[in-house]
Structure 1
Amino acid sequence: MTSHEDLEAPSPAPEVGTPDFKAHAHERYAALRAVAPIHRVRMPDGSTGWLVVGHDLARTALAHPLLSKDPAPFEEELRASGRHILLAGSGFGGNMLMADPPQHTRLRRLVSGAFTPGAVDALAPRVEELAHRYIDAIAPRGEADLVTAYTGPLPMAVVCELLGVPAERRDDLQTWTRAAMTNPSERQRTSLLALNAYLRDLLEEKRRHPQDDLLSGLIAVRDADDGRLSDAELLGTAVILVAAGHETTVNLLGNAVVALLDHPDQARTLRLAPEHIPGAVEEFLRYDAPVETSPTRFATERFILGGAVVEPGDTVTVALTSAGRDAPVESGADPDRLDVLRRGARHVSFGHGIHYCIGAPLARLEASIALRVLLERLPDLAWARTEEDVAWLPAGITRGPVRLPVRFTPRTKETAGVDVP
């Protein structure tokens, strides 16, 4: 049993979030879990804070009333540590991800209508059409990098159509959001400011010429008499819908494809029984979470968390990837084994509590359709890589492959064996 004293003053604090740590994340997290469910760690920017690695404690931390998502009261400390990217004015403030009730409740309610089961199900035909279109482009070639050709552009196309972003700007948004979510320091800030500036101009254009899209709907809310959205909140909400709404699904798909390529028997199971794919998506989320660590939380009071004494102002981060491998599974089962037919395993890959990912239903729909189309259209999909391992995103809170080089038998619509829209 680790004592409170051990957890209060470890020496030295393990370093996490480095490229080497992220490249071997599952092994590193397993070693930490073997010692304790929470650790005092050092981040790549030199700051220290608490990292939760155990599943049960992760659920507790994600919903803890003494952990705040609002960074504003801690502005001085954030600027001193170089983490001012979290503050309003950086291009990432003024959104529900960095708010506590009642502001969080109000902002979430204004957006939630776009992600109801009925609203999401209505998007299924368009997601299917887009998935086939991207496969059409690579199927005759016999090889591709799926990150650039499929798992990356598909989620961006969906979120851009939902929000009303012109198709010709999708590549720009994808570049900005990937840099904003995966690169620390000044490049992250520059990318967020570029995304911020573009969306500010787009919102002005939609105010003049509203359309049937989510951004136009948010503008209508902003311009209503009751003023339920400030300008900063409108822009911050648009930024978070683009950035988080896209990157999470890109990595969910990428990680799932890596898992299937590494476990061809599991891919064959789903190819023969595609009705199991929606359930398998939950297993992919548990097995390799697309968001490696949660956004930072700040302690508002002194309290005990898993034996650790958390002081006011301390930061707490939850390792969602680690929690998935520590999640309860059926008796006698191995949580480190991929099982696409597994049912009932819990995970926190979309969070827990009031900050549970609002876009989770859409991410699940996209993943289910995209994986089914991929397995149907390219049934002999296999790695086309050298001896080097998969390269993982080297920084940031997300987890996913940088590239997915694959090979397959070249196919046309006529030889694919399915009807293509």
Structure 2
Amino acid sequence: MGQHLDAVTLDPTGRDVYAEIEKLRGRGPAVPVVLPGAVRAWSVTGHEHVRALLADPRVSKDPHQHWRDWREGRVPRDWPLANFVSLRNMFTAYGPEHGRLRRIVSAAFLPRRVQALRPRVEQVTADLIVRLAAKPASEVVDLRAELASPLPISVIAQLFGLRRAGWTTLRECVDNLFQTTVSSEHAARDRARLDVLLREMVEEKRREPADDLTSTLLHGAPAEGDQPLSDEELHDTLLLMLGAGFETTLNLVHNLVLALLTHPEQRELVRVGVASWSDAVEEALRWAPPVPHVLLRYAVTDLDVGGTVIPEGDAIMVSYGGAGRDPDQHGDRPDVFDVLRPSRRGHLSFGHGAHFCVGAPLARMEAELAVSALFDRFPGIALAQPAAALPPLGTFLVSGHAALPVFLHPAGGFGRPLPPLGPVRP
């Protein structure tokens, strides 16, 4: 693979993903890495190099055309992370085909449509806050399970038009999509359950269209000259939107709450109006991107990345976590959470170029509404254990923790808000 550089084997559990990113940054602009399953790729961590690759037409997301190891069978089809590369949707499309798929999906995320979702997001948030308020003052509450997770899954399920009976199955299956330590058998089981759920929903919407995303994708008229989605493309598009609309928003909310709990001086800047909730959301996106590493892109031709050549046909893993903490872009202390950081909006956490996330405005809306409502209702909220002791997620693809235990009412007898803990590993 390209130049003779020693490959770095990534920790599949993501135990200390930012220390690993800094190790990669120190080795050069493009570094060979080994992914779970002994799959090889290149990691790119610098802001400018990541930004350039995201916008370069010589970089593809279609493994069927441009990933040599996939085409030639060296990566098995039951690779546990195959869902990130094998689906046929706009995430894995290239060139004109990507343009067609993106035009169809983007019609469902026009600004007016996203704003029309605001009352729904506000209602889901209000219901979750009411449930939290009803808990005993002394109870330790897991905000990941009680707020960060149910909010996006409720929003995306309603957006899809999925009946409530399917919400639990949806959540369980999507939770495991991003696990990099799961076995091939477990991944296949979850994928099969999810396939059945989505196909049943699609058949229902085919018979009885409604005012929801699935019906729009099924029955909406594509742009002139575009072919409508095939059944496979529709199914894989729904899978894409599940992963993008659930797991990323979940971890954005999680990381923003954690940042504000461990940086009370930053929370105070927001409370008194020196900074806005939008500032806090953008800084959280930079400081702890919901997806620190993105699988995968492919070199359509030999690519020069800062003097290192990535050969045609090789896979590339871009690091939003590396770009977000690049000192050349974000200053001398990029590991510090600072809601007034001048470069807070200059992150790449929703991508850049042709594949910029169409759901970014909705994710921002959900995070801002949820976290502002949480701190307004529970101003004394505090972590129930030190941030360094929070349980890991067990993956390097998304950032966060397996739980976020808090006291909602620490003044009620269970201690006081914790003092600043210094730099925290998200």
- Taking structure 1 as the reference length, what is the TM-score of the superposition? 0.88
Any idea what SS the aligned residue of 1:243 has?
helix
1:146 paired with 2:140, answer no
1:10 paired with 2:5, answer yes
% identical equivalent positions: 37
| 1:17-416 → structure 2 map (5 Å cutoff) | 17-19=11-13, 22-73=14-65, 77-78=69-70, 79-82=73-76, 84=78, 93-141=87-135, 142=137, 143-183=140-180, 184-186=182-184, 187-221=186-220, 227-273=227-273, 276-326=276-326, 334-345=333-344, 346-385=346-385, 389-395=389-395, 397-409=397-409
For residues 176-195 of structure 1, what are the alpha-carbon distances to aligned partners after superposition, in whole Å with 9 as ceiling and x for unaligned? 01111224441223322321
Code of the residue aligned with 2:89 in structure 1: it is N
Any idea what SS the aligned residue of 1:98 has?
coil
Any idea what SS the aligned residue of 1:144 has?
strand
| Aligned 8 A contact 2:122 2:369 in 1 | yes
Deviation at 1:245? 1.3
| Closer, same or farther: CA 370–77 of 1 in aligned 2, 3 Å | same
Q: Distance in 2 between matches of 1:196 and 1:129?
A: 29
| Aligned 8 A contact 1:276 1:341 in 2 | no
Q: Distance in 1 between matches of 2:39 and 2:79?
A: 14
Q: Alignment length, in residue pairs?
A: 403
Deviation at 1:373? 0.4
Q: Which moved more, 1:264-273 or 1:204-213?
A: 264-273
Code of the residue aligned with 2:187 in structure 1: it is Q
Q: Which moved more, 1:270-279 or 1:30-39?
A: 270-279
| Closer, same or farther: CA 45–388 of 1 in aligned 2, 3 Å | same
| Closer, same or farther: CA 230–85 of 1 in aligned 2, 3 Å | farther
| Aligned 8 A contact 1:29 1:322 in 2 | yes
Q: Distance in 2 between matches of 1:370 and 1:319?
A: 27
Partner of 2:424: none
Q: Distance in 1 between matches of 2:49 and 2:223?
A: 42
| Aligned 8 A contact 2:80 2:183 in 1 | no
Deviation at 1:410? 7.9
| Aligned 8 A contact 2:30 2:45 in 1 | yes
Any idea what SS the aligned residue of 2:178 has?
helix
Q: Distance in 1 between matches of 2:347 and 2:271?
A: 24
Deviation at 1:18? 2.1
Any idea what SS the aligned residue of 2:295 has?
coil
| Aligned 8 A contact 1:91 1:196 in 2 | no
Code of the residue aligned with 2:154 in structure 1: it is A
Q: Distance in 2 between matches of 1:242 and 1:401?
A: 20
Q: Distance in 2 between matches of 1:252 and 1:87?
A: 22
Partner of 1:416: none
Code of the residue aligned with 1:147 in structure 2: it is R
Q: Distance in 2 between matches of 1:274 and 1:154?
A: 28
Deviation at 1:217? 0.9
Q: Distance in 2 between matches of 1:144 and 1:228?
A: 46
Code of the residue aligned with 1:407 in structure 2: it is F
Any idea what SS the aligned residue of 1:210 has?
coil
Code of the residue aligned with 1:163 in structure 2: it is F
| Closer, same or farther: CA 87–107 of 1 in aligned 2, 3 Å | farther
Q: Which moved more, 1:181-190 or 1:137-146?
A: 181-190
Code of the residue aligned with 1:193 in structure 2: it is A
For residues 53-97 of structure 1, what are the alpha-carbon distances to aligned partners after superposition, in whole Å with 9 as ceiling and x for unaligned? 111111112222222101113677334333555999999612100
Deviation at 1:108? 0.8
Partner of 2:422: none
Q: Distance in 2 between matches of 1:91 and 1:203?
A: 23
Any idea what SS the aligned residue of 2:323 has?
helix
For residues 89-116 of structure 1, what are the alpha-carbon distances to aligned partners after superposition, in whole Å with 9 as ceiling and x for unaligned? 9996121001012111111111112222
Code of the residue aligned with 2:409 in structure 1: it is T
Deviation at 1:224? 11
| Closer, same or farther: CA 259–405 of 1 in aligned 2, 3 Å | same
Deviation at 1:368? 0.8
Q: Which moved more, 1:90-99 or 1:79-88?
A: 79-88
Any idea what SS the aligned residue of 2:398 has?
coil
